[in-house]
Amino acid sequence: MGIQETVLLADAMLTPAGVVAPAELAFDAAGRIVYAGTPRVAGTGHEEISVQIGGTLPGEGAHAADVVVRDLTGHVLMPGLVNGHTHSAMTLLRGVSDDEGFMPWLAAVQALEQHLTHDDVTVGLQLAMVEMIETGTVAFADMYHWDERLIELVRGTGMRAMVALASFAPEAVGFPGVSPWNGADAVEQTEELAARYAGDAQIRVAYGPHAPYTCPPEFLREIAERAKRTGIPIHTHISESAAEVAQITAQYGATPAAHLASLGLFDANVLAAHCVHLTQAEIEDMARYGAAVSHNPVSNLKLGCGIAALPEWQEAGLRVSLGTDSVASNNSLDLFEEIKLASILHRGGKQDAAVVKAADVLAIATSGGADALGFTESGSLEVGLLADVIALDVTGSGATPLDLAGADTAALTSHLGFAATGSDVRHVFIGGRHIYADGTHLTIDADAVRARARIARARLHAAADDAAANAAGDAAASPADQG
C-alpha cells in the first residue's frame, strides 16, 4: 500500500495565521496540505516519534500504516522561497568583473556570454538549481534561452519555474552560440511551449521582451497584443538604472513604465524586474494595472543602479516578489541574503527602523513570489495548498538563543528575517516531493554538475581569449580598415 500521508513534526512553523510552536504539517499523497497546526497527538513530544519511513503515527487509527512521520526536532518549517527574477544559466559567469563599474562589467559578461553553447546553458541552469535548492528556493522566474530540453531538466528536479524566452528585436539573435532563434522565433517558441505546458503544476511560460531600451516599440506592442490574446504573461526589466530612464525619456518622451503602458504592455499579466527608478505616478499606475514587480536589492546595489522604493510599492499596493537577478550581478542565489537586505536597506534609507518588517519581507519572498509567478496553489503553509516547504536547522550558534516557547511570532520571524542563511536549509519539499533530505540532493547529482560547471567556465575563457587574439590578429593584418 502506498503512502497516503506525510507528517512533519518540527519546533515551529511559519503560517499565514502566525507562528505555530511546536508544529505539525501534514500533506497527502498528492502533496496537498491536509493539516497545519500544533501536533495532533496529545502528549506526544517529538522525541517519542523517531524518524521513520512507513512508520505509524500513534493514534491515527486504521490507516496509520500509510503515514510517514518525519521527526524534524531542531528544525523550523517555513514556505519554500520564490526567486522573482534571475537568469539561471549565468551562474557560469559568477564573479566576472565585480569591481570595474557597470559598463566594463557588461562588456566582460558579454565577451564570455557570446561563446555560451547549449551545453553551457544546460549546466549553468543545473548549477543554479542546485544552489537554489540548497538555499531553500522552490520556484524561480527566469529570463534566458529556454526550450523543451531545458524545461524538462527543471521538471526533473521537482522545482517550479516561470520561464521567459529572452528576446530583443524581431531580427536579433539572442544567444547565437546556443540557438539560431531571433526575437520573432522566441515569440513563436514561447507560444508553442506555453501550449505544451498549459496546466503543468511546475512550469509557466512567459514572453521575455528584455527591456524598453533593447526592444523596439513596435515589437513590444506586438508582444502586448499577443499576450492579451493568449493570456501568456510577460517577464521584463523596467527602469533598472537612471541612464535607462534618461535614454527612454529622450527617445520616446515618456519614462520607461509610462512608455510601456502606452504600448499596451500592462493590459497583459506583467512581472517587471528592478523598477528602481519608477516615478510615484508609475508606481500607482502599475498597482492599478495589477502588475507584479521583482525587488532585487543586491543586484541593484552591486551594479550601482540605486535603491527601489519598496515602502512606496507596499503603500501603493503593488504585487511584490523578491529576486536575486543573475549570479553575474549578485553573486549568490541565496534569497535569505535578499530577505535581510530588503528589510534593513529601507530602514537605513528612511532612517526609520520600523519600516519593512521581517514578516512582510518573508511574505514577499514566499507567497508574494508565488503570486507574482502565478503558482497560486502554493506559497504558504495552509490547508488546501501544495506543500512547498523547507526545514531549517535551528540548533547552531547563529540560531542560539531562540526561544520559540509560547509561539512567540517575533522570535521566529526575526530569526528567519535577520539571522538565518541559506546554509541552514536541511530539507526541501516541493508539492510534497522530498527533493533535498538532510543536506543531500535527491533529484540532481550536485557533484557532477559542479564538476561540469568548472570545465564549462574554463572553456568559455579559452574561447573568449581565442576570439580576442583573432580580433587583434585581424586588426594587425588590415590596419587601414580601422577607425
Residue closest to Zn ion when measured from CB atoms: 325
State the residue for C-alpha cell 492579451: 228
Q: Which of 11, 325 has the CB closer to Zn ion?
A: 325
Q: Which of 325, 424 has the CB closer to Zn ion?
A: 325
Q: Closest separation between CB of residue 93 and Zn ion, Å?
A: 13
| Site pattern 315..334 for Zn ion (x: CB under 5 A) | ----------x---------
Q: Closest separation between CB of residue 289 and Zn ion, Å?
A: 21
Q: Which of 36, 81 has the CB closer to Zn ion?
A: 81
Q: How many residues bind Zn ion (CB under 5 A)?
A: 1
Q: Which of 6, 236 has the CB closer to Zn ion?
A: 236
Q: Closest separation between CB of residue 455 and Zn ion, Å?
A: 26
Q: Which of 134, 325 has the CB closer to Zn ion?
A: 325
| Site pattern 4..43 for Zn ion (x: CB under 5 A) | ----------------------------------------
> Phi-psi category of 101—alpha, beta or left, where left has phi over 0 and alpha has psi -120 to 50?
left
The span from the first CA to the last CA of the chain, in angstroms, equals 76
| Site pattern 274..313 for Zn ion (x: CB under 5 A) | ----------------------------------------
295's enclosing H/E stretch is strand 292-295
Q: Which of 131, 325 has the CB closer to Zn ion?
A: 325
Distance, in Å, from the CA atom of 148 to the CA atom of 162, rounded to the nearest integer, reads 13
Q: Closest separation between CB of residue 42 and Zn ion, Å?
A: 51
Distance, in Å, from the CA atom of 419 to the CA atom of 396, rounded to the nearest integer, reads 11
Sign of CA dihedral 320, 326, 329, 332: positive
Q: Closest separation between CB of residue 275 and Zn ion, Å?
A: 12
Q: Which of 162, 391 has the CB closer to Zn ion?
A: 162
Q: Which of 401, 437, 439, 442 is nearest to 423 (CA)?
A: 439
Pairs from 253-256 (Cβ < 8 Å, separation ≥ 24) = 255/279, 255/282, 256/212, 256/213
Q: Closest separation between CB of residue 123 and Zn ion, Å?
A: 20
Distance, in Å, from the CA atom of 244 to the CA atom of 256, rounded to the nearest integer, reads 8
Q: Closest separation between CB of residue 322 and Zn ion, Å?
A: 14
Q: Which of 325, 393 has the CB closer to Zn ion?
A: 325
| Site pattern 447..466 for Zn ion (x: CB under 5 A) | --------------------
What are the grid coordinates assigned to 406, written together? 509560547
* CA angle (299 as vertex; 297, 303 as ends), nearest 5: 120
Q: Closest separation between CB of residue 65 and Zn ion, Å?
A: 49
State the residue for C-alpha cell 521584463: 236
CA–chain centroid gap for 272, Å, is 13
Q: Where are the alpha helices (DSSP H) in 197-296?
A: 217-230, 242-252, 256-262, 280-289
Q: Closest separation between CB of residue 90 and Zn ion, Å?
A: 9
Q: Closest separation between CB of residue 175 and Zn ion, Å?
A: 15
Neighbours of 332 (CB within 10 A): 16
What are the grid coordinates assigned to 233, written together? 504573461
Region 122-141 residues binding Zn ion, contact defined as CB under 5 A = none
E-state strands within 80-231: 81-86, 137-144, 160-167, 203-209
Q: Which of 195, 179, 42 is nearest to 119 (CA)?
A: 179
Q: Which of 273, 444 has the CB closer to Zn ion?
A: 273
Q: Which of 67, 257 has the CB closer to Zn ion?
A: 257
The residues binding Zn ion (CB under 5 A) are: 325
